[in-house]
Every structure is written in structure tokens, then in C-alpha cells.
Structure 1
Amino acid sequence: MRTQQTPAIQVRDLRKSYKDLHVLRGVDFEVARGGVFALLGSNGAGKTTAVRILSTLLKPDAGVVRVNGFDVTTQAADVRESISLTGQFAAVDEILTGRENLMLVARLRHLANPAQVADDLLRRFSLTDAAGRRAATYSGGMRRRLDIAMSLIGDPPIIFLDEPTTGLDPQARLEVWRTVKDLTAQGTTVLLTTQYLDEAEHLADRIAILHQGRIIVDGTLADLKRLLPPAKVEYVEKQPTLEEIFLTLTGTNT
């Protein structure tokens, strides 16, 4: 039974293989409600496979996966009503204006008053001044903000952001970071996959590192920092960065 105390996401012994390629080898983690959980890993670590299973786009070979209290295999329709997924590239229609993109999704979700829904989201994501412009004229950051706004239509309690700042310039990345912080401030649960360690360091309440198909560490940034030797003090104390922690734990620090 789903309650406010039930984790937003529960994953136990998740496994997925493609013939002889074992992508997920027994993954375990939980995501609390109302925060940002970052799933870190190199290319090919299995991050996108995990997200596709969580969002019911792919069936697991084994394991138990529950999203918003629903089993992804036996209650897939309930899971899909509970989530939204934003992939690595903004899925906006560049021919339509920002407002038209939002209204289209609102109509597809059979919501009352799509125009009001669109205007509210444009205001929330600071896109009102660009509402009447074609999305093709938007900057990368604006396009990504519009994409995330579209994913919020219907008020899903859980959002998957699969490498949301891929290909964006530094300013656009900061815009997306602010958007993610605003989402969690309003109670939305965010599962973020990323290769950018500074992104996880800035945004995540909890961080898990996926390496060779398994979660090798799961905790807060402070928890992860305690896994390395204490900082040496010469003239200035230097705390380990998340990048140093990641490279050390995955054995790729050369």
C-alpha cells in the first residue's frame, strides 16, 4: 500500500542481460520522496537501462522494482501514471511555439483548460516572454526547461531525468540545475542520471555509483567523502571532490 512514508522507488536485486552481456547484475537502491537521487556511472554502466526498466519501457530479467508503490511489471499502467521521463535530448516540437507544445501535451493528457495549464507552466519556468516564439528559436537551456515543463503536465510525483544536461553549455546547465532545485522544493521526487560529477555534487541529496552492473556505494556526499582517507593539511585543507571519490571507487583513477 502506498503511503507518504513508502519510498518513491524501491529496487531489489535488479538484473538485465542482453545475451552474454550482463548490464545489471543485482542492483539495489531506494529513493526517498521529495529529493534528488543521483545515479552515477560511466558510459555503458547501465544507467539508462535502469531508467528504462523503472519507467516500464523495458522488462527486467529478475528482481523487484516498485515505483510510487507499484510494481513495474504487474502494475505498469499505474507506474506510468505516476512518472514522467525526460531523456538526453529535449523532445519538443520545434515547429510549434512554447505555449503550443505545452497545450498539445495537456490535450493529450485530457486535462481541462490546456491554455491555463500552459500559461501556469510558462510562468513557473520563466518562459512567458518566449511563449509565442517557435521552440526552434529557443536556446539550449530554454528548450530543456520547456521539455521539463512538458514532463510536469499532470503533476507526476516522480520524474526521471536521464542525463538532462548532455550537450548543453555551462549557462544552460545552470538553468537546468535551478529548475531541478525548484522541482524538489515543491515536493517532486527526481531520479537523475548523469556523467557530470559536479552536477550530482550540486543537486543530489543522495548519490549511488553504478559500476560494472552493481551499485558499489550509496549515500550522501558526506558519506562518500568519509570513504577516502582524511584530507592532508599542509597550508590549506583539501577535501576530496566527488570526481576523486568516483575515480577511486571505480578503480579508474590513473
Structure 2
Amino acid sequence: MNDQNLQLKGGVIIIGSLLWQDNLNNNDEIRKEWRGKHLELENKILAKLPIRYGRFSKSGIYTMVFSTNCERYNRLGTGFIVPFKKNYINNTAELISETQAMSKAEGIGKKFVGGKDSVWASMCILMNKNKLQQDVYRAILTKWSERFEVDGGGKDISEYGFGKEKRSISKKGELQIHWPKSFFPHKQSEIDEIDFLIATSTKPQHSDDDVDRYPLESEIAESVRSDSTRQYFLNNFQNTITTFQDSNVINLLNNH
């Protein structure tokens, strides 16, 4: 089908520092500019999301990942659905342009896949199948998966989860979670009006490469104690980006 004049309403899922950190490098304000230019932050919606601390970063802290097991076992956290400033996304070229802008703010450099030597994250799409017509859904997914593949996506899907867990993204670059539910039921209609959401799915990785599981609460607390500069966990918590483990992590920190 012709993908012109689609008039789709889009947005992003934010589960970490894209919400509260202004700079990517030094004082470049890339993230602040991206939020100001592309997002309706004043209309962000708190949502229940299957997220947890799971990736041990180069800076020695655990950062947020999507985990389908959190959905399976009803261990949901909270993050934000944020609509695009642009009223409508008219075609797949505009969709890709918005994704590239988010990718740049994320530090992936306008690509759909992040990492030169080894991939650490992928841009992914979640479509509202209850709202989109099948032909529109297929057209978007075709264009998305083509770009995803060109940038090297889809080859390492097994690394987007641990053990027998269903992986967080598909080979075509779809985020494999249910359409989000608002934390406040009266806001659900605002989420359901959206046709698609863009997100960053990060590969989980334990601090010990030989360990094939998510970090224990004690291990998360240990990384929080060592994070004296970025204060990733604290900034997430203060901005209502939370996980099912947060209260126990905080108790461990307070009792240390």
C-alpha cells in the first residue's frame, strides 16, 4: 500500500535517563533539545511497564531493561508514554526520522542498532493492533524491519533476555510486550489514541559475564552505592520510573 498520508499518532516509551538527563556528552544538551523539539512532555502519561534493572553498564551501574518475565509474573514497574509534538506522522519516512532523533539522544547515533564492536541496544516499535488496520500495520512493519536489518538488527535477538524468557524484541524489531496500561485508569484513553510507540530495548547483562540471570536486589543496591555521580537509580525513582524491586533495594541502602 501507499504509505503517504497515514496520519498516525505516535509517541515514545521512556524508562530511564532520557527523561531527566540533559546531556549525552559533556554539556551538549542533546537530550534536552530532543525532548523540547520532539515531545509533548507536559502530556506524558505514567504507565505500568515490564521493566527492571538488568544491564551492567560501562560506568559500573545497573540500567533499565524491558523484561517479558515482569509481564508474565505481574511484576510491573512504571515509566512514561510521551506523545510526539508532531500531531501526525504522515508516512514511514517521518516515522524513521523521529526514531533517528531518539536514537541520537540515546547515543546510538541515528541508527536502529547501537554499538560498533558489540550491540548493546536496539530501537524498537510497539504498534497498537487494536487501532491500526492490518494493511497499515503490515506496511509499517515492512519498512521498519527493512531499516532494522540494514543497521544490523535481528541477528542477536537471543541476547535480549535471560534463560527461557521470551525475548523483549522480535527479529523484525518489534517490542514484544502488551500495549501499555496507564497507572491512572482515567488516562487509558489517551494511551489508546496512540497508533505506535518507539522505545529503546537494551540487552540485559550481569556484572559477571558468566552469570546468566538478572541482578539480585543486593547487587543492584551495591551498584547504587557506587554511583556517586550520575545517581541513575535515585534520579529514576525521583522521576517515578520504578521497578518491582525498588522498595527492597531502598531498604538495603537504608540499612547499610
Relative to the length of structure 1, the TM-score reads 0.25
Higher relative CO (Cα under 8 Å, sequence separation at least 6) belongs to 2
Relative to the length of structure 2, the TM-score reads 0.25
